[in-house]
Structure 1
Amino acid sequence: MKDDAGRKPRAAWLAVPALLALAGAAHAAAATPDAATLLFEEPQLDKTAVNQVLTYAYHRKSADDKLYGASFEDTIRLTLDKGETAQTRTVQVQLFSGAHRRAAGPFENMSGNPVLSLFLEHHIGVLAETYQANPRYFKTAIRTALRDKAEVKPADIPFEGRTLPGWRVSIQPFSDDPNKARLNGLDTLRYEFLVARDLPGEIARIEVSAPGKNSPLLDEGISYEATPD
């Protein structure tokens, strides 16, 4: 699924100048990294190997398929081939399987992990279809939240029987949305991104959830599988 403009998946998320402005000297000087730089500008694939496969378990649990989109579980697999430099990879993608499978990639000469943008694009696509809305509306809200309202805290990431130092990025992009009454409770959606520099591909987990009375209205996410079945 190459982007219509032929851009790499992270490019669509970094196209906003306000996000790009977060990088540079301010990032280098800060003890706590800013969210956009941490998620979209780190060389997340530089410690991976050619022919390595990064596997992510995907889940989507919906309280009401008609209101929030269908529930299912599946897998995302990224197969890494060599790029033009030792720090980049060409990424082959298997985005889900069977009836859920979606075309994606390949993405050439990637320094960042495309699973983050692949997940967000799919998530936003379901929201847009469910609410008959422009996907750009949801994407802009998430971008803005990462720029202006993100909470970044240290986190311990379990990996192969040990703990890696990492970061947890949290946002609630729709909490102040002027149209939140039309979101059927999804204005409470909370996004959490767990990343660790020493984890292959750096993305440990993404969790998106909205609380309900007895169970979440929506619970969606991916988690890195160190030893997949």
Structure 2
Amino acid sequence: MAGALLLAPSQAGAAPPEAAPPLSPAQTALFETPHLSNIAHPETLDYRFEQTGPAAYSDQIALHIDQIHPNGTKYVSFEFLSGAHHAFFPAVDDFSGNPLVMVFLEHDVQEMKDQVGVAAAYFRNRIRTAFIDQAQMSDTSIQFGGRSVSARRVTLKPFAEDHRFDQLPTVQGKTYDFILSDQVPGQLAELSTEVPTDPAAGAPAWAERVTFVGEKP
């Protein structure tokens, strides 16, 4: 989980707290908001994972709220995909935000490392920086529980101006999208990445999407 935690702004730098710049709206929305405040009892949040494209498959992710501490923070464990796609992430403690954001991003940078051959730390740093000054936030609405509810969308393209990938338009054009709503348990309604086609290389478009589907005891 150490790599995943590096994506959170509170873990990002060695500068003393008084020298740290204020968080961007995107950083605050994704990393410094108590998403789990609407969880009052130990339970499991279920998410559907879908990859579209030439290697399409679907799977499940479970976020277990195992303990709720007196101060409201949670002990959280994960079941992230299954079978050949399973990835292990150790449990985290004293969390008030939804750690699925960091787990999803760590899964993503590990995939990119394997696909592109660039160190995962490089991708982590580019994504973390993009949350500071490149992310776009907008109000939106989603269908939840049979009705329309208000939500916020965070969108960014961390590698759009990265000349290291001038010959890899699939990386430069990769889009990250996060939809949050305080009406959804855990507040994360959807997380996704989308990669465009690269006609020159014959590479097709593909996407990965995680969607909240329900809660259970």
Contact 1:208 1:220 in 2 (8 A): yes
Identify the residue that residue 72 of structure 1 maps to in structure 2: 57
Task: Decide which of 203, 206, 211 is 1:218's aligned counterpart.
Answer: 206
The C-alpha deviation readout for 1:45-102, integer Å capped at 9, x for no partner, is 1111322211111122344xxxxxx543211101112232252111121111122222
Determine helix, strand or coil for the equivalent of 1:226.
Answer: strand
Identify the residue that residue 88 of structure 1 maps to in structure 2: 73
Task: Decide which of 20, 27, 36 is 1:36's aligned counterpart.
Answer: 27
* CA RMSD between the two structures: 2.4
Determine helix, strand or coil for the equivalent of 1:46.
Answer: helix
Identify the residue that residue 2 of structure 2 maps to in structure 1: 3
Determine helix, strand or coil for the equivalent of 2:184.
Answer: coil
Matched, 1:13 2:8: yes
Separation in structure 2 between the aligned mates of residue 166 and residue 199 of structure 1, nearest angstrom = 9
Tell me how far 1:11 sits from its aligned partner.
Answer: 5.7
Task: Decide which of 40, 63, 88 is 1:103's aligned counterpart.
Answer: 88
Alignment of 1:104-123 (within 5 A): 104-123=89-108
Contact 2:78 2:91 in 1 (8 A): yes
Matched, 1:47 2:38: yes
Any gaps of 5 or more consecutive residues in structure 2?
Answer: none
Q: How many residues align?
A: 207
The ranges of structure 1 where at least 4 consecutive aligned residues each deviate by more than 3 angstroms after the TM superposition are 9-12, 213-216
Tell me how far 1:36 sits from its aligned partner.
Answer: 0.5
Contact 1:194 1:203 in 2 (8 A): yes
Determine helix, strand or coil for the equivalent of 1:78.
Answer: strand
Any gaps of 5 or more consecutive residues in structure 1?
Answer: 28-33, 64-69
Tell me how far 1:202 sits from its aligned partner.
Answer: 0.7
Determine helix, strand or coil for the equivalent of 1:125.
Answer: helix
Separation in structure 1 between the aligned mates of residue 7 and residue 129 of structure 2, nearest angstrom = 14
The C-alpha deviation readout for 1:111-140, integer Å capped at 9, x for no partner, is 111111111100110101111111111111
Contact 1:76 1:96 in 2 (8 A): yes
Q: Which structure is higher in strand share?
A: 2
Separation in structure 1 between the aligned mates of residue 88 and residue 121 of structure 2, nearest angstrom = 20
Tell me how far 1:184 sits from its aligned partner.
Answer: 5.0
